[in-house]
């Protein structure tokens, strides 16, 4: 036990003096999520504002061929710019960004419209540009609405009830609550939290195994009268300590970000204050030894820093798998899922965010199963360290 703490203290200090570990464990890892998240939500906010407030800008070519349509567009608040463009000139204008959406009204529009034949309208837009695509969608809606208005008038004139042309009336009811809608966005957040947990220990797990090999200090260490289990235990414990630090920093940053991101303006309310952050910490705590043991175990098989880095980046993706499966099959929270590490933490954190009641059994199942897997991995690592091949 004493040896275990000696190893722990040494690894903790050693890595505290290593700039690479510090940057990744206590800066990039934990802050990556909150910053990206803050930026993402702010961007979404801006976009919603753009959609509802900004007038639709259209470039119209051939206004004289369809004065009725042009009047309609103006009455709907579209800002029109008039030009005389050929089809290829319009394509060029859109491609170069000079115009967002161009509507071309050709010469035959008038005669065909009068003859009650489909009158051609050309809509030129770039669907690869998300901003233009929205404008094009709005233009298409307006043109469609104008068309169906005219159609109804034509039917009426011919003595046919326009209702015949509306066989189905669709009404949409959206039951998403503000918090519920926020959870879609916040679903990412739980992964960022788990990511921060793993990043916190990544470099220490590498340094204390592959690092020992690379700087050839391993053999001297292994020839000491110390049980291999104590060496492994001390190293994993130090990794856990850094992971907890990283988790704490990440959650603090999240609380901070949520102070400044006005989720209410998106019609969402997020329940993330200091208390929630503490609950998140408690939920993630059993995942810490699991992640530390997993990374140390994997890194124990590698011979160099670089090799370990390659394998462990893959390990960083492991916790996403259950979460991804759950969202693909849109699994609802239920007790049997609480036995799956990472997914159970994700579900519990989501429940906390949604302000749903959480059963103690679920918390116990989540913590218990994660701890059990951690114990198994620690045992496997210690057993691997007792093998002669560890010398390399």
Partner 1 sequence: MIEASALCKRFGNVDAVNDMSFAARDGEITGLLGPNGAGKSTCLRMMYGVLTPDSGSARIDGIDIRGETSAARAHLGVLPHAAGLYNNLTARENIDYFGSLQGIGRERLRRRTDELACALGMEGFINRRVKGFSQGQRIKVALARALVHDPGNLILDEPTNGLDVMAIRSLREMLHTLRAQGRCILFSSHVMQEVAALCDRVVIIGHGRVLADDTPQAIRDRSGAQTLEEAFLHVLGDTEGVN
364/391 with CB nearer partner 1: 391
Residue choice 12, 14, 63, 150 for contact with partner 1 (CB under 8 A): 14
Element containing residue 124 per DSSP (H, E): strand 122-124
CA 327 – CA 330 distance, rounded (Å)? 4
Q: Would you give the binding string for partner 1 spanning residues 201-220, x where CB under 8 A is met? A: -----------x--xxxxxx
In DSSP terms, 103 is beta-bridged to 60, 123
For partner 1, which is the closer residue by CB, 194 or 204? 204
Query: Does 155 engage in binding with partner 1 (CB under 8 A)?
Result: no
* Residue pair 126/139 in contact by the 8 Å Cβ criterion: no
Q: Among 22, 44, 155, 226, indicate the residue that binds partner 1 (CB under 8 A).
A: 226
Q: Which is nearer to partner 1, 6 or 76 (CB)?
A: 6
Which residue has tokens 């704490």? 248
Order of strands, sheet of 102-104, starting from the edge strand that comes earlier in the sequence: 79-83, 57-61, 102-104, 122-124
Nearer to partner 1, 300 or 345 (CB): 300
Binding of partner 1 by 1 (CB under 8 A): no
Closest approach of partner 1 to the CB of residue 219, in Å: 4
Q: What angle do CA 277, 281, 284 make, to 5 degrees?
A: 135
Of the candidate spans 8-16, 24-32, 71-79, 165-173, the one that interacts with partner 1 by CB under 8 A turns out to be 8-16
Q: Which range touches partner 1 (CB under 8 A), out of 1-9, 67-75, 84-92, 134-142?
A: 1-9
Distances in Å between the Cα of 99 and the Cα atoms of 63, 81, 125, 136 are 16, 10, 9, 12
Considering only the stretches 5-13, 76-84, 145-153, 306-314, report the one whose residues sit in contact with partner 1 under the rule CB under 8 A.
5-13
Among positions 350-369, residues that touch partner 1 (CB under 8 A) are none
Quick one: which of 12, 18, 40, 252 contacts partner 1 (CB under 8 A)?
Answer: 18
Q: Where would I find the H helices in the chain?
A: 2-16, 19-23, 29-53, 67-75, 87-96, 109-114, 130-157, 178-207, 210-214, 218-222, 228-260, 274-284, 287-300, 305-317, 320-328, 343-354, 360-385
Residues in contact with partner 1 by CB under 8 A are 2-3, 6-7, 10, 13-15, 17-18, 212, 215-226, 388, 391
């Amino acid at each position: 036990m004493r040896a275990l703490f000696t190893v722990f203290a040494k690894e903790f200090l050693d890595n505290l003096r290593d700039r690479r570990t510090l940057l990744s464990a206590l800066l990039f890892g934990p802050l990556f999520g909150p910053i990206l998240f803050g930026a993402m939500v702010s961007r979404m906010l801006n976009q919603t504002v753009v959609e509802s407030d900004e007038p639709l800008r259209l470039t119209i070519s051939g206004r004289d061929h369809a004065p009725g349509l042009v009047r309609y567009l103006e009455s709907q608040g579209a800002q029109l710019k008039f030009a005389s463009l050929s089809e290829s000139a319009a394509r060029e204008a859109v491609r170069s960004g000079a115009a967002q959406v161009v509507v071309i009204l050709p010469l035959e529009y008038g005669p065909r419209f009068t003859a009650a034949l489909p009158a051609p309208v050309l809509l030129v837009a770039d669907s690869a540009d998300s901003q233009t695509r929205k404008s094009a969608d709005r233009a298409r809606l307006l043109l469609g609405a104008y068309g169906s208005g005219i159609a109804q008038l034509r039917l009426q004139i011919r003595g046919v009830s326009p209702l015949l042309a509306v066989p189905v009336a669709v009404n949409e009811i959206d039951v998403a609550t503000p918090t519920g809608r926020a959870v879609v966005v916040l679903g990412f957040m739980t992964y960022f939290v788990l990511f921060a947990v793993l990043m916190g220990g990544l470099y220490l797990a590498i340094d204390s195994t592959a690092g020992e090999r690379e700087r050839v200090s391993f053999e001297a260490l292994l020839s000491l009268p110390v049980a291999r289990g104590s060496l492994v235990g001390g190293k994993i414990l130090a990794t856990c300590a850094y992971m907890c630090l990283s988790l704490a920093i990440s959650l603090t940053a999240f609380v901070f970000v949520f102070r400044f991101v006005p989720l209410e303006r998106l019609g969402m309310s997020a329940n993330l204050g200091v208390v929630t952050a503490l609950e998140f910490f408690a939920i993630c705590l059993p995942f810490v030894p699991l992640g530390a043991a997993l990374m140390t175990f994997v890194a124990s098989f590698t011979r160099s820093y670089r090799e370990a880095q390659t394998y462990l980046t893959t390990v960083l993706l492991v916790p996403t798998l259950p979460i991804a499966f759950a969202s693909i099959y849109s699994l609802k929270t239920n007790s049997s899922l609480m036995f799956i590490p990472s997914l159970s933490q994700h579900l519990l954190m989501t429940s906390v965010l949604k302000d749903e009641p959480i059963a103690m059994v679920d918390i116990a199942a989540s913590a218990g199963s994660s701890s059990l897997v951690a114990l198994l991995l620690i045992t496997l690592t210690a057993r691997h360290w007792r093998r002669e091949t560890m010398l390399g």
